[in-house]
Structure 1
């Protein structure tokens, strides 16, 4: 099973909104999401060349 999207919502309950820490965490999450293992070499080869995974786009 795979998912086409994930929604992450950040909020600091103590601050009753978002803070610089939330923006910093969002930046880290974005870095993980945009990571492309096939470009680094090693054991993680990246997205398989298979028609079932053609919907995955890295922009």
Structure 2
């Protein structure tokens, strides 16, 4: 949490460059695609992921 620059620095320090490259490319491809999830689909998907994570 914090200002935007601080958040980017935190992610940059935590994510390896090769992984960050592929993650950014996936996000870019998703944003450029015609297939977008609705808000309801995202909320439904997040709940199923969160409930499957070990504590």
TM-score bracket, shorter-length normalisation: 0.3 to 0.5
Instruction: Give me the TM-score of the superposition, normalised by structure 1.
Output: 0.30
Larger Rg: 1
Q: Which has the higher contact order (CA 8 A, sep 6+)?
A: 1
Instruction: Name the one with the larger helix percent.
Output: 2
Instruction: Give me the TM-score of the superposition, normalised by structure 2.
Output: 0.32
